[in-house]
Chain A
Amino acid sequence: MKFLSTILLLSWALTSIPSWAQVPLEAGATYKISNGSIETTTNERVPINTLIKIESISGWRVEFRELGADLEPIGPIKTGSKIWVERSVAPVDVDDIINTIVGINTHAKPDDLVDCPPLTSLRPRPNPRRNSDGTETNQTLITKDQSSLDRYFSCYKKSTSLNEDYENSYRQSIQTISSEYHKILNEEVPLESVNTLMSCLIFRESALWEGGTSHSGAVGLGQFTSIAIDQVKDFIDFSGRDNFDQREQVQRDEHKAGRLSVSELNRNLSLIAIERRNYDRYAKVRDYWNALPINPKPKSSEINGQYLANNNNHQAVMALSSLIMLNCQIQLEHSEALMTQDQKLLACAGAYNMGVGGFSKNALGRNEDQGLNAWIENLKNSGDGQSNETINHLVSINRCQTNASNYPPCGTQSDYCKELPKANSCQDDIRPQCIGECK
């Protein structure tokens, strides 16, 4: 009977374990990191296969030290999040101890590592742009100029006629929109950078100027989904009432009259502040739309899937895409993320794919480590269903916009890459190499 109850208890306990196994930690015990790495509060990553000794466990944190070859703690005490340490470690077995003592590194041995082409980085880090006095400017990205951009599009064109559509029509539309966008950013980002980013975004979204309807139902040059269509219509139709000062006063009066506690007052004032921020954002995007010198400018009621799928409406479609970019840019402006303006532009190109909230949660660096490489690393670790697509999207746009490099866009179709080597040769003697998906 005792045996049976033990078995039952054990099976109940085991079924309570979530899909990610967790090891209950004990202070003083030794563990091996066996499932991913552990991030410390100083944003260091302690890699897989490291042996660690738990120093203390307190609330949400775990303090630990790494163990050296003699199984003695080495280096400083590090702090990680308890739940993540529990998820990452496993009890140490005899083999781990023997391997550590005899110095066998359980990471990949040097002989196992092979060079993977291409040898140069696929994600070139731009050099910082400098002022005349040698100090770095706020702008870190050196983007292609119009003629380099045109050559890039020509090099990776899907067809001559689609590239002609760009050269004869789309290029001028993007320039017109970028000029207004540049103004609304208070000219903090060079016009050329805005124009290049917008061009590369639409080039990517439209599958190399084709437009059409994607498997997910997104339409046209700007690949508008039904969610994005509703969003841009909301911007255009926005007519909220700015009565926030009055509402704040009412809350203060209620507090004075003893009908609201201090915490209720603070909570209500916080909510009003958020509504004010949302109001200002909507009003700014609407005003930008009203100022855009495009003709004809569609009424909100005319904007639907059919309208946006028609490439003849390219000017309006690209203008509507820029509303989504601007909305993101304003949200990042208010956010706690430390980024340069052109990092924000690239981030918004990523957010075009997964939403500002999705990009903020899954991609943006939570410390000062911002930029494409950090975002890609975060996306890979996020487990978000859209992360691979967003990585390809970001890498493609960055390849397109970065000056002096002409790496191909990530393949959007499985057979597209096969066609790339047939593209006419690009400038700077860089022969386009098909390297497949970027993820």
Chain B
Amino acid sequence: MKNLILSLLMFSLTSFVQSNETAIWDWKKIDQLEAKLSKWAMDIGEKDILMMGKMQQRPEEVELIEDLFPLLLPEGYFGKSIATTCTPDFERLRKEKSLGAWEKWDKCLKPLFLIDKPKWIQKAQKDLKAQLTTP
């Protein structure tokens, strides 16, 4: 029983991606996420990241990179070119932090995903928009 509790505790404390599901993202958090994921990708190495790109069952970290920071992906990573389509608009939003920039990013994303945007994009859109409209 003790082992089970310890394992569960370890799991809930160390799950990097899971903790991001519940926390509210602000501009600082986005920067921190990118820095952490950049380090994660460096530690993993280009060869393994490319290998992950060829799998349907990918770690959540690489899914998060695909959705929000695809510039961190190595050249040749499956889907990189499509994943980067709206990256210039997202980067402009990070720089300008304006509702206009958010709307431009959204306009780019809508036809790219039509019905269901990837979950990390949905979260970023929701959290960041709330901060733009809150005085």
Contact = CB atoms under 8 A, between A and B. Distances in A.
Given A24-B7, A336-B79, A386-B114, A43 B54 contact: yes
B71 interface: yes
Given A274-B85, A354-B115, A81 B55 contact: yes
Contacts of B82: 331, 334-335, 356-357, 360
Chain B, interface residues (CB within 8 Å), range: 35 or more
Given A336-B80, A356-B82, A360-B82, A385 B56 contact: no
Contact of A17 (B12, B56, B113): B12
Contacts of A18: 18
A364 interface: yes
Contacts of B81: 277, 331, 334-336
Nearest to A351: B114
Overall SS of chain A's interface: helix
A65 interface: no
Contact of A10 (B5, B52, B107, B110): B5
Interface in A1-31: 6, 9-10, 13-14, 16-18, 22, 24
B59 A22 contact: no
A59 interface: yes
A337 B114 contact: no
Contacts of A335: 79, 81-82
Contact of B112 (A17, A336, A355, A367): A355
B118 A81 contact: no
A84 B57 contact: yes
Interface in B18-61: 18, 43-44, 48, 51-61
Given A60-B48, A358-B115, A13 B12 contact: yes
Interface string A244-280: 0000000000000000000000010011001101100
Given A59-B44, A274-B87, A354 B113 contact: yes
Nearest to A332: B82
Overall SS of chain B's interface: helix
Nearest to B75: A336
A60 B71 contact: no
Most buried by B among A14, A59, A82, A360: A360
Nearest to B59: A60
B8 A16 contact: yes
Given A13-B9, A385-B116, A228 B87 contact: no
Contacts of B44: 59-60
B107 A366 contact: no
B96 interface: no
B5 A9 contact: yes
B100 interface: no
A367 B51 CA distance: 10
Contacts of A278: 85, 88
Most buried by B among A43, A271, A378, A385: A271
Interface string B55-80: 11111110000100001000011111
17 contacts: A6-B1, A9-B5, A10-B8, A13-B8, A17-B11, A60-B59, A60-B61, A81-B58, A274-B84, A336-B79, A354-B114, A354-B116, A355-B111, A356-B112, A358-B115, A361-B79, A366-B55
The 3 closest A-B pairs by CB, nearest first: A16-B12, A357-B112, A355-B114
Given A227-B110, A336-B78, 10 more contacts: A13-B5, A13-B12, A39-B56, A39-B57, A59-B43, A81-B52, A267-B71, A331-B81, A355-B113, A386-B114
